[in-house]
């Protein structure tokens, strides 16, 4: 059973007694894991989100989603403190009973499970393009076969990493993922300066806002979803207090926001209206710098996969309920007072906002499905002189 401790920071949840062989980590290690959890495969869709919403409005929405994420993650742990629980499922069960537990468990399992499937597909699609740039590796080579690449990466990397008993062990792996992500960011920025001027201009590329902004919020929410990892990472802290958790959350979400915003702006300003849902689909196949970026991204996805596996081991349809609705609903259920008064006001607004984004985004997705030219060389690659866009050494 979880215990509670009253100190100067208020009631703080203490995880169950440490079992033999279990290790707890530092705030730095937890921050690396958290940042890695946020900056997964969703980051490559952020330039497309700016294409949907418009650059200025898109940046404002990205900041808003990050602030909501930061607030709701802390709110989630506060709910655990109020209920004396130490997992997302236990929190929901204590507030909404067994039906709530079943709903949350379904989302808690399906979202990372589907994410892991997407990670495997992304790894296979990305690394096969990288391998085909190796002399002698054609389209009929085994390294160009997606299924073989997925199997190889699973057996050599993701499976061993996913078998760790404690999530704290992934701290160094998450640091490697951060380094890879920063390398990708540098490549995207370089290409914005060297390749962007060769891309034909598009109409309304710099409009303040576009009509598809609601769907952009869905893309951003997917990129920032990390609530399903919160209790696991919180429990990995050497001193799991609410004050320490707030610092970890602010550092992690803030760092992820800076990296995500830079990546989104650099990617969108390069291709503007031609920006694809996967930004690497915009780069030409004979672009060696972009190929190296694909390689780094593939490795980054491999190192992110185990974090999602930890969640499915504890047991999406949409990221919106996990970010906007469920943490706020649990806190309101446990907190005294009226919904629209005092500290209950913001959680109430988040529930209303989350329902609006989820319902409206679902309707717009059905009415206006997104196009993606997956695997198709973009038209401007035929005229682009990629070799001249490589920066001097």
The 3 state secondary structure assigned to the chain is: CCEEEEECCEEEEECCCCCCCCCCECHHHHHHHHHHHHCCHHHHHHHHHHHHHCHHHHHHHHHHHHHHHHHHHHHHHHHHHHHCCCCHHHHHHHHHHHHHHHHHHHHHHHHHHHHHHHHHHHHHHHHHHHHCCCCCCCCCCHHHCHHHHHHHHHHHHHHHHHCCCCHHHHHHHHHHHHHHHHHHHHHHHHHHHHCHHHCCCCCCCCCCCCCCHHHHHHHHHHHHCCHHHHHHHHHCECCCCHHHHHHHHHHHHHHHHHHHHHHHHHHHHHHHHHCCCCHHHCCCCCCHHHHHHHHHHHHHHHHHHHHHHHHHHHCCCCCHHHHHHHHHHHHHHHCCCCCCCHHHHHHHHHHHHHHHHHHHHHHHHHHCCCCCCCCCCCHHHHCCCHHHHCCCC
Residue 134 and residue 256: Cα distance in Å, rounded? Answer: 33
Average pLDDT over the chain, rounded to an integer: 79
From residue 389, alpha-carbon distances to 197, 287, 385 in Å are 10, 9, 7
270 or 360, higher pLDDT: 270
Q: Domain 22-384 in CATH: superfamily?
A: Hydantoin permease (1.10.4160.10)
Write the pLDDT tens digit of every residue in 199-228: 998 988 999 999 888 888 888 887 787 777
Domain ranges of the chain: 22-384
Write the pLDDT tens digit of every residue in 54-108: 999 999 999 999 999 999 999 888 888 888 888 888 888 888 888 888 887 777 7
Write the pLDDT tens digit of every residue in 307-338: 545 444 446 344 566 667 888 888 888 888 77
Model confidence at 196, in pLDDT bands (50, 70, 90)? very high
Model confidence at 262, in pLDDT bands (50, 70, 90)? very high
């Amino acid at each position: 059973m979880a215990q509670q401790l009253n100190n100067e920071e208020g009631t703080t949840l203490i995880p169950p007694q440490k079992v033999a062989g279990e290790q707890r980590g530092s705030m730095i290690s937890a921050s690396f894991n958290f940042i890695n959890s946020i900056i997964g495969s969703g980051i490559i869709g952020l330039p497309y989100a700016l294409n949907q919403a418009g650059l200025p409005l898109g940046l404002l929405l990205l900041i808003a989603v990050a602030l909501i994420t930061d607030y709701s993650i802390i709110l989630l742990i506060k709910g655990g403190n109020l209920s004396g629980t130490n997992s997302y499922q236990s929190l929901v069960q204590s507030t909404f009973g067994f039906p709530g537990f079943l709903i949350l468990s379904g989302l808690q399992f399906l979202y990372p499970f589907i994410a892991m499937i997407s990670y495997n597909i992304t790894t296979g699609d990305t690394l096969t393009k990288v391998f085909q740039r190796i002399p002698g590796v054609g389209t009929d080579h085994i390294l160009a076969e997606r299924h073989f690449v997925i199997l190889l990466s699973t057996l050599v990397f993701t499976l061993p990493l996913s078998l760790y008993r404690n999530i704290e062990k992934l701290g160094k792996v998450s640091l490697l993922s951060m380094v890879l992500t920063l390398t990708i960011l540098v490549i995207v920025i370089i290409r914005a300066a060297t390749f962007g001027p060769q891309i034909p201009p598009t109409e309304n590329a710099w409009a303040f806002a576009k009509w598809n902004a609601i769907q952009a919020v869905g893309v951003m929410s997917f990129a920032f979803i990390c609530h399903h990892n919160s209790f696991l990472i919180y429990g990995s802290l050497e001193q799991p207090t609410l004050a320490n958790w707030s610092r970890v959350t602010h550092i992690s979400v803030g760092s992820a926001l800076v990296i995500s915003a830079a990546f989104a702006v650099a990617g969108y300003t390069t291709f503007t209206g031609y920006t694809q849902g996967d930004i690497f689909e915009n780069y030409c196949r004979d672009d060696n710098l972009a190929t190296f970026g694909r390689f780094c991204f593939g490795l980054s996805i491999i190192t992110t996969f185990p974090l999602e596996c930890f969640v499915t081991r504890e047991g999406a349809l949409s990221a919106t309920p996990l970010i906007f609705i469920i943490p706020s609903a649990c806190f309101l259920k446990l907190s005294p007072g009226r919904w629209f008064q005092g500290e209950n006001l913001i959680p109430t607004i988040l529930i209303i906002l989350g329902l609006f984004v989820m319902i409206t985004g679902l309707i717009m997705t059905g009415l206006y499905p997104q196009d993606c030219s997956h695997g198709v060389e973009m038209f401007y690659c035929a005229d682009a002189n990629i070799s001249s866009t490589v920066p001097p050494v």
